[in-house]
Amino acid sequence: MLELPALPYAENALDPHISARTLEFHHGKHHATYVTNANNMIKDTDLADKSLEDIVRAAAGDAEKAGLFNNAAQVWNHTFFWNSMSPAGGGAPSGDLAGRIDADFGSYDAFCEAFIQAAVTQFGSGWAWLIEENGKLAVTKTANADTPLAHGQKALLTVDVWEHAYYLDWQNRRPDFVKCYLDNLVNWEFAESNLAG
């Protein structure tokens, strides 16, 4: 059975960029509901003792398991999102990842432009991602619960652009939220560990 992971920081640790109230609802209600729903769907099935990643992969592309995919993938996406942020985050990366970004995007500013563009142009609900695929870094976006995990891509970091991720703090200003994420919250150490892993 799946469990709701604790946030990797206190609920108020991302203030003033993301409020404790947003995290209370986003983690404590939305994320928790996905865990409950997924557990209800895998109970007494051959997926009950599988890892979250295995459940997501098993349900991906299977029309009969669409509900399970939506809930399990959202459990995975949200856990990944919490770790993609840090109270001490923000700004440009360093080390190997900085070099890779320069090589594959041309510059850190060009990466930021591509990432913000992906996040802002994701119609409705979804995610923007920094991924590695075929040995190159790229930016991609996914709708609803879709995830790089379902497409054989290695996710390095993500930003959640479902309205519940930012609306209490930023209202309809999604571009400002995504820019704030990059300037103040993005956890490059987490991205670096994903790249190395």
**What tens digit of pLDDT does each residue of 4-51 get?**
999 999 999 999 999 999 999 999 999 999 999 999 999 999 999 999
**What average pLDDT does range 91-108 have in this prediction?**
96
Chain-centroid distance, C-alpha 160: 6
- Paired tokens of 69: 């995919």
What percentage of the chain reaches a pLDDT higher than 70?
Answer: 100
Architecture of domain 95-196: 3-Layer(bab) Sandwich (3.55)
Looking at residue 85, the DSSP 8-state letter turns out to be B
Residues of the chain with CATH 3.55.40.20: 95-196
Residues of the chain with CATH 1.10.287.990: 20-83
Structure confidence at residue 194 (pLDDT): 97
What is the phi/psi pair of residue 136, to 5°? -125, 145
Structure confidence at residue 50 (pLDDT): 96
Scored b (16 or more CB within 10 A) or e, 130-154 reads bbbeeeebbbbbbebbbbbbbeebe
Q: What is the CATH number of domain 20-83?
A: 1.10.287.990
Q: Quick check: 5 and 32 in contact, CB under 8 A?
A: no
Summarize pLDDT for 133-177 with one digit per residue, the tens. 999 999 999 999 999 999 999 999 999 999 999 999 999 999 999
